[in-house]
Amino acid sequence: MMMNELTLIQRIVVWILPVIFAITVHEVAHGWMAKKYGDNTAASLGRLTLNPLKHIDLVGTIILPGLLLITGTGFIFGWAKPVPVDSRYFKNPRQDMAIVALAGPASNLLMAIGWALIARLGVAVGLGNEAIAMPLIYSGIAGISINLILMLLNLLPIPPLDGSRILSGMLPSYWAWQFNKLERFGFIILLGMLYFNVLSVILAYPKYVLEQWFMTLAGL
């Protein structure tokens, strides 16, 4: 039985943990890295925790992923409440912010590897123990997919995505200042790209290539 053959309830059960962890750990990674560079804002607000209740955004964590899952679009993503980061505490604000931004996608890459190993464990358990093997395999596949989507999406250089912070940290000060002006239009740009299916087109090939590598790691 393939992922698209699962019932709606089964799909929700398979995807719920990978989605919550992908979104939650992504935000915690930002806060953890910010603390390493001298900003304790997230820590002081209790946001450096894996408790999803501290990070859940009604629309981004529940409603949007749920609708995408129910409609079977095959393109599931979301977001949590952003962890507050105050660059005034950084020694090199733009460069340090770029590293803090990179921590989010990096965490998704590491989680994709972790979910691939979980799927591989399911494969090792074998079809003789389907009650154990199949949940591990399906959850592993879901974990790989959602984390790769979040990683690739956030690496796009569109404000306020992480990729824009990374690019801003690499640009000369004047051009970074000009580039950051786009942030007020960022959400509109993203909605337009989503509506006209541009995001799916941009992300499809790199997601396919990475998924093949991770599926090989998973033994699938």
Q: Which residues are catalytic?
A: 27
**Stated length of the chain:** 220
Conformational region of residue 74, where left means phi above 0, alpha means psi within -120 to 50, and beta covers everything else: left
Collect all residues with Cβ–Cβ distance below 8 Å to 41 and sequence separation of at least 6: 31, 34, 84, 85, 86, 89
DSSP character at residue 5: G
Query: What are the angstrom distances between the C-alpha of 1 and each of 5, 19, 127, 137, 176?
Result: 6, 21, 12, 11, 49
- For residue 66 the two structure tokens come to 């749920």
Does residue 160 have a cis bond before it (omega within 30 degrees)? yes
Six-digit token pair at 123? 């494969």
C-beta separation of 170 from 100 below 8 A: no
